[in-house]
Copies of this chain bind each other. A is one copy, B any other.
Amino acid sequence: MSKEQVIAKLIPVFRHYGYEGATMSRLSEATGLKKASLYHHFQGGKEQIAEAVLEYIGTWIEENVFAPLKSDQAPRDRILAMCRGIDKFYQTGQEPCVLSVMSVGEADNLFHQQLEQSLKQWIDTLAAIVEETGIEPQQARERAEDALMLIQGALVLVRVSNNTQPFQRAIAKLPQILLEDQ
């Protein structure tokens, strides 16, 4: 099993249990590797595992959410492509956001800068697209923030209500929020 495959199995544990809840026992069970083997791959222990998870997710987002935004299609089509990436990433809202579960407690102390940077990049990228359509920078930024708030809020609602409908509605509303006058 490659390191990538190992990390792919670690991710859902962090997403569903958070940093403190992602115990070495659960990580061991999720991967099928005993604890000592995990320490062989990640000498820095749990903290380094979380770092690897964050990096892996960053790359995935880059390729599946940001990349579609940078194609040569019309802005609306690029945003629709991004929406498909988001829907896949969050599995229609059923997979929690690492950004939000890692911004709690101990994990926040360890990774705050990195999380903040990732969020900023997402907002900046979205705002740039909106600006391309002729919207003022300040307005574009607010729309990008509104879009991310809606996504993050939808994820909370889905988690608590066990109903993916709010997420689907939120995704469907993104093009309107970003491109049309409110």
Q: Which residues of A contact B (CB under 8 A)?
A: 16-18, 20-21, 96-97, 99-101, 103-106, 108, 112, 115-116, 119-120, 142, 145-146, 148-154, 156-157, 159-162, 166, 169-170, 182
Contact = CB atoms under 8 A, between A and B. Distances in A.
Contact of A149 (B16, B108, B154): B154
29 contacts: A17-B104, A17-B106, A18-B21, A18-B105, A20-B21, A21-B106, A97-B156, A100-B160, A103-B156, A108-B159, A112-B160, A116-B161, A116-B162, A119-B161, A142-B169, A145-B169, A148-B153, A148-B157, A149-B149, A149-B150, A149-B157, A150-B150, A150-B153, A151-B153, A152-B152, A152-B153, A152-B156, A153-B154, A153-B156
Contacts of A153: 148-154, 156
A152 B157 contact: yes
Given A18-B104, A116-B161, A145-B157, 4 more contacts: A104-B159, A112-B160, A119-B157, A120-B161
| Copies of this subunit | 2
A103, A112, A156 pick with most chain B CB within 10 angstroms: A156
Contacts of A104: 16-18, 21, 96, 101, 104, 159
Contacts of A97: 156
A154 B156 CA distance: 11
A159 B148 CA distance: 13
Nearest to A145: B166
A34 B157 CA distance: 36
A18, A20, A153, A166 pick with most chain B CB within 10 angstroms: A153
Contact of A103 (B103, B159, B169): B159
A159 B149 CA distance: 12
